[in-house]
């Protein structure tokens, strides 16, 4: 009982800018893990990394309406506040920031976020306004929290790439963390909970097959052709729709035909659930 009480007291729940200012006034080397909640082992790995590298760790849970290009997707996004808080307590996180939409968007932006034409690729091509919403909320979170380090997952590789590029003026350092996968190779994602068991198995099988295909590619392969053919074959499956399946250079995200310094990026729907991955 005493132990439970102690761990509860140790984690401060912060709701607004005043709470943040008060709690973080004398904190140095603060690590920040931004999340949309429904926490899983992927999020937990970021939190552990922050705890290792920073004096104090703050985790935010905020399902940001601005980054959803589809209202229904926002509505059905999994929310698990009670379970999330118990996970964070168990991890002995120092602070949890739980702002409301009103709190985050209290102040109007002075300039519009514009993503360049050449960055409108992969998810930016298919989710109109998504990254503008991500950059907007991240800028607001950074300004409120002022962390030294921000821990984010390579699962959302393009998000990392764009945040590094568009938030350069901020002094917080973004630390990239590796993708955590289930045994069946499916990357952990809050959206996985929206899948039926057989749909999850199918998603894992598709990912495993694309990973195997990547291993089989070699210097002589016409990679674009192989990926197009694979995408077309996958699209013949019932209730599966590939959005993109591309090999891109990890430094500039340009289409690549060389395996070196490149990753396969994939996005697909199983029924109405959209999954992304890269490897």
Catalytic residue positions, numbered: 43
Comparing CB distances to ligand AMP, the nearer of 208 and 257 is: 208
Comparing CB distances to ligand AMP, the nearer of 246 and 277 is: 277
For the CB of residue 153, give the shortest distance to ligand AMP in the complex, in Å: 2
Please tell me the distance from the alpha carbon of residue 141 to that of residue 25, in angstroms, as a whole number. 16
33 beta partners = 59
Please tell me the distance from the alpha carbon of residue 278 to that of residue 153, in angstroms, as a whole number. 11
CB atoms within 10 A of CB 242: 20
265 beta partners = 246, 278
Please tell me the distance from the alpha carbon of residue 20 to that of residue 56, in angstroms, as a whole number. 13
What DSSP letter does each residue of 55-86 carry, written as one string? SEEEEEE---GGG-SSHHHHHHS---HHHHHH
Residues that bind ligand AMP (CB under 6 A): 35-36, 42-43, 45-46, 152-153, 155-156, 177, 179-180, 187-190
For the CB of residue 180, give the shortest distance to ligand AMP in the complex, in Å: 4
**Contacts (Cβ under 8 Å, ≥6 apart) of 162:** 115, 119, 124, 131, 134, 135
Comparing CB distances to ligand AMP, the nearer of 187 and 203 is: 187
For the CB of residue 279, give the shortest distance to ligand AMP in the complex, in Å: 12
- Lay out the sheet containing 262-270: strands in order across: 240-249, 262-270, 273-278
Q: Exposure pattern of 133-161 as b/e (b: 16+ CB <10 Å)?
A: bbbbbbbbbbebbbbbbbbbbbbbbbbbb
How remote is the C-alpha of 95 from its chain's centroid?
20
Comparing CB distances to ligand AMP, the nearer of 244 and 279 is: 279
Residue that is written with structure tokens 């310094």 in the block: 261
Comparing CB distances to ligand AMP, the nearer of 154 and 246 is: 154
For the CB of residue 187, give the shortest distance to ligand AMP in the complex, in Å: 4
Comparing CB distances to ligand AMP, the nearer of 152 and 227 is: 152
């Amino acid at each position: 009982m005493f132990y439970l009480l102690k761990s509860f007291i140790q984690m401060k729940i912060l709701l607004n800018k005043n709470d943040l200012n008060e709690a973080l006034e004398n904190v140095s080397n603060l690590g920040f893990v931004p999340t949309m909640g429904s926490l899983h082992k992927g999020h937990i790995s970021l939190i552990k990394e922050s705890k290792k590298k920073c004096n104090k760790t703050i985790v935010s849970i905020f399902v940001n309406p601005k980054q959803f290009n589809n209202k229904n997707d926002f509505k059905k996004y999994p929310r698990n506040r009670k379970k999330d808080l118990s996970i964070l307590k168990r991890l002995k996180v120092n602070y949890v920031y739980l702002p409301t939409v009103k709190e985050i968007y209290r102040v109007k932006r002075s300039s519009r976020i514009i993503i360049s034409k050449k960055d409108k690729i992969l998810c930016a091509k298919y989710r109109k306004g998504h990254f503008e919403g991500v950059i907007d909320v991240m800028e607001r979170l950074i300004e409120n929290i002022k962390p030294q380090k921000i821990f984010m997952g390579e699962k959302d590789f393009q998000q990392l790439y764009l945040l590094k590029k568009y938030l350069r003026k901020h002094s917080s350092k973004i630390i990239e963390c590796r993708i955590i996968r289930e045994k069946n190779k499916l990357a952990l994602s809050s959206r996985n909970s929206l899948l039926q068991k057989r749909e999850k198995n199918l998603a894992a099988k598709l990912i495993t097959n694309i990973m195997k295909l990547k291993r089989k590619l070699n210097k002589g392969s016409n990679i674009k052709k192989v990926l197009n053919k694979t995408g077309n074959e996958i699209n013949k499956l019932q209730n599966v729709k590939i959005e993109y399946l591309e090999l891109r250079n990890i430094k500039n995200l340009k289409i690549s035909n060389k395996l070196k310094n490149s990753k396969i990026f994939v996005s697909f729907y199983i029924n109405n659930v959209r999954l992304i991955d890269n490897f």
